[in-house]
Amino acid sequence: MNDSLDLALMPEVQARAILGAARVHLSVLAPVGGWLGIGALRVLRATERDGEIDLVCGYESYDRCN
């Protein structure tokens, strides 16, 4: 079963604290090219599958690296 968790837009550090000892797979979305993440890393999507939590996160904003 693939269950959605109510962690959207929560800072990633806070979400991991809530999840405790759960096994977490973390993915970070970023624009294509050279960009720096600015601000907090936030949860965009959180799902539970087979006892593991999948977190897809992104920064609040991005600055281009030139």
Task: Encode pLDDT of 14-50 as tens digits.
Answer: 999 999 999 999 999 999 999 999 999 999 999 998 8
pTM: 0.85
pLDDT band at residue 1 using 50, 70 and 90 as cut-offs: very low
Extents of the domains making up the chain: 2-64
Read off the tokens for 5: 């968790």
2 vs 30 pLDDT, higher one: 30
63 vs 66 pLDDT, higher one: 63
For residue 3, the model assigns a pLDDT of 58
12-45 burial, b at 16+ Cβ within 10 Å, e below that, comes to beebbeebeeeeeeeeeeeeeeeeebeeebbbbe
